[in-house]
C-alpha cells in the first residue's frame, strides 16, 4: 500500500501517522535494521526454514544432531537523536503537494516511531538559525508521544545553521549513538564539515536524509523571473530557459559534493524526494540497511 505524503500530511495525529508509516515499512522484513550493543539469551526453539543461520547453535547440533535456533531478548540501549531542519528553505513544495518540511516532519516521526518500537531511546533537535525544539533521547511511549507532539508544533522559518544543530545534537548524545539528519542541506560552510568530521570521529552512526523537491533539481521556470532566496531574502533576476543548463550543473555538483562528503566521513547519505511516497522511501532505506547495504 502506497502512503501518499499529501494524504498523511492531512492527518493531524502524527503518532497515528508515524505508526502507520512504520507498520507499512517493516512488514515483511525479517529482522530489525538497528542492533543495540547487547542482547540477552532467552530460549532455544526448533529451527524452521527461513531462520537466520547466524542464530543456529552449531555446538548443540553437534551434540544432539538437531538444529536449534537461539532466541534473544533484545536489551538494546541505542540512543538516536534526530536533527530536523526547520529553516525557511524547507517550507517549499515545488510541484509536489507537500512542502519539504511537512515531508521531513513525517519522516522524522516515522523514524522516531521505528526506533522507539524496538525499545531504543530517541530524541529530537529541530533547528534553523537557532535551536527551535530539542528533546533528549529517551525511551518509552510517553516520550515518543511527547516527541511527536513537539514535531507537530514545530514550524519552518529562519536561516539554516546545520553546524550549530549538529554540535547541539552531539552534546545531547552522552555516548555513541545514532544521529539522523533530515535537511535540504543548503549549508555548506566549513563549520558543517567540521561538525560532521567530529561526529564521525566520536563514533556516532550518522544518517543524512537529504530532502528535496524535484523542482529544485530541474529548475521549475522557463521565462524571466526574480528569484528570491527564502532565507537570505536576496533577489536575483534570471531567465529560466537561459539558466537551466548552468543551474542543473550547479545543483548536480551540490548533490555530488554531499554524497562524496558523507562517503568520506563514513556517513550514510539518503536522498529523498517529496514526490516519493513516504513508506516507499523509508522501506527502501530500511531494506537496504537490513541487507547490509550502504552504511
Partner 1 sequence: MILWLAPAAFAAFALLAGPLIAHLLARRNARRVIFPAAHFVPPAQAAAIRLRRPADLALLIVRLAILSAAVLAAAQPLFVTRWNLSAWNARISRVVIVDTTGADRGQHSSAVIDGLAAREAVSAYVTQGIDTADLREGLQRAANWLAFRPPSRGEVVVVSDFRRGALDRDSFEVLPRDTGIRFIRWRSLPSEQTTTLKPIEGWRGGRWQATATVDKDGIRTDWASLGRGQKEDQSWLTVLAAPADAGAAARAKTAAASFGVAPGEASHRCRVVFTGGDEAAGEPIRTPWMARAALVLRDSDLLRQADVAVAAEERGGALIVRAPVSGSSAAAPAVVRAVMLAMRPAVIGGRELETAAIPDTDLAAWRRDPAAVTTSDMRRRWQLTDTDGRAFWALALVLLGIESWMRRSRRRVVAQEAHASAA
41 backbone dihedrals φ, ψ, rounded to 5°: -65, 140
In the set 36, 133, 220, 271, which binds partner 1 (CB under 8 A)? Answer: 220
From the list 37-45, 48-56, 115-123, 247-255, the region that binds partner 1 by CB under 8 A is 247-255
In the set 2, 11, 149, 250, which binds partner 1 (CB under 8 A)? Answer: 250
In the set 15, 120, 184, 205, which binds partner 1 (CB under 8 A)? Answer: 184
From the list 28-36, 167-175, 226-234, 264-272, the region that binds partner 1 by CB under 8 A is 226-234
* Residues 252-281 within binding reach of partner 1 (CB under 8 A): 254
Compute how many residues bind partner 1; rule: CB under 8 A. 41
* Region of residue 292 (phi > 0: left; psi between -120 and 50: alpha; otherwise: beta): left
Q: Which residues contact 199 (CB under 8 A, 6 or more apart)?
A: 166, 170, 179, 206, 265, 267
From the list 29-37, 92-100, 136-144, 262-270, the region that binds partner 1 by CB under 8 A is 92-100
In the set 9, 56, 67, 93, which binds partner 1 (CB under 8 A)? Answer: 93
- Alpha-carbon gap, residue 86 to 104, rounded angstroms: 9
From the list 22-30, 73-81, 172-180, 236-244, the region that binds partner 1 by CB under 8 A is 236-244
Q: Decide if residue 187 touches partner 1 (CB under 8 A).
A: no
- Alpha-carbon gap, residue 192 to 212, rounded angstroms: 19
Q: Which residues contact 119 (CB under 8 A, 6 or more apart)?
A: 74, 75, 76, 139
Residues 132 and 85: beta-carbon distance below 8 Å: no
In the set 6, 67, 227, 290, which binds partner 1 (CB under 8 A)? Answer: 227
Let me know the angle formed at the C-alpha of 287 by 281 and 288, rounded to the nearest 5 degrees.
Answer: 90
Q: Which residues contact 36 (CB under 8 A, 6 or more apart)?
A: 74, 75, 76, 77, 78, 120
Q: Decide if residue 135 touches partner 1 (CB under 8 A).
A: no
Q: Could you tell me the smallest distance in angstroms from the CB atom of residue 257 to partner 1?
A: 12
- Alpha-carbon gap, residue 276 to 103, rounded angstroms: 10
Write the binding mask 43 to 82 for partner 1: x where contact by CB under 8 A, - elsewhere.
----------------------------------------
In the set 56, 60, 131, 243, which binds partner 1 (CB under 8 A)? Answer: 243
DSSP result, 99-151 = -HHHHHHHHHHHHHHHHHHTT-EEEEEEESSSEEEEEEEE-SHHHHHHHHHHH
In the set 79, 86, 90, 106, which binds partner 1 (CB under 8 A)? Answer: 90
CB closer to partner 1 out of 156 and 165:
156
| Interacting residue ranges for partner 1, rule: CB under 8 A | 88-90, 92-95, 99-100, 184, 186, 215-216, 219-232, 234-239, 241-243, 246-247, 250-251, 254
Amino acid at each position: 500500500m502506497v502512503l501518499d505524503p499529501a494524504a498523511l500530511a492531512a492527518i493531524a495525529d502524527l503518532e497515528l501517522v508515524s505508526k502507520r508509516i512504520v507498520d507499512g515499512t517493516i512488514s515483511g522484513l525479517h529482522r530489525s535494521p538497528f542492533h543495540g550493543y547487547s542482547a540477552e539469551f532467552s530460549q532455544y526453539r526448533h529451527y524452521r526454514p527461513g531462520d537466520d543461520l547466524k542464530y543456529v547453535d552449531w555446538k548443540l547440533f553437534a551434540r544432539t544432531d538437531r538444529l536449534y535456533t537461539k532466541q534473544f531478548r533484545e536489551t538494546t540501549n541505542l540512543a538516536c537523536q534526530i536533527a530536523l531542519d526547520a529553516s525557511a528553505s524547507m517550507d517549499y513544495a515545488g510541484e509536489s503537494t507537500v512542502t519539504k518540511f511537512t515531508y521531513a516532519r513525517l519522516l522524522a516521526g516515522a523514524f522516531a516511531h521505528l526506533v522507539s518500537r524496538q525499545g531504543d531511546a530517541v530524541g529530537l533537535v529541530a533547528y534553523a538559525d537557532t535551536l527551535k525544539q530539542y528533546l533528549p533521547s529517551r525511551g518509552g511511549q510517553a516520550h515518543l508521544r511527547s516527541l511527536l507532539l513537539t514535531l507537530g508544533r514545530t514550524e519552518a522559518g529562519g536561516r539554516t545553521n546545520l553546524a550549530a544543530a549538529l554540535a547541539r545534537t552531539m552534546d545531547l548524545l552522552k555516548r555513541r549513538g545514532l544521529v539522523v539528519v533530515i535537511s535540504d542541506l543548503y549549508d555548506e560552510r566549513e563549520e558543517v564539515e567540521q561538525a560532521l568530521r567530529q561526529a564521525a570521529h566520536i563514533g556516532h552512526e550518522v544518517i543524512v536524509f537529504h530532502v528535496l523537491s524535484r523542482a529544485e533539481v530541474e529548475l521549475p521556470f522557463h521565462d524571466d523571473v526574480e528569484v528570491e532566496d527564502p532565507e537570505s531574502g536576496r533577489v536575483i533576476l534570471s531567465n529560466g530557459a537561459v539558466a537551466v543548463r548552468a543551474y542543473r550543473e550547479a545543483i548536480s555538483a551540490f548533490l555530488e559534493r554531499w554524497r562524496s562528503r558523507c562517503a568520506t566521513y563514513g556517513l550514510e547519505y539518503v536522498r529523498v524526494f517529496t514526490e516519493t511516497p513516504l513508506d516507499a522511501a523509508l522501506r527502501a532505506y530500511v531494506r537496504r540497511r537490513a541487507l547490509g547495504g550502504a552504511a
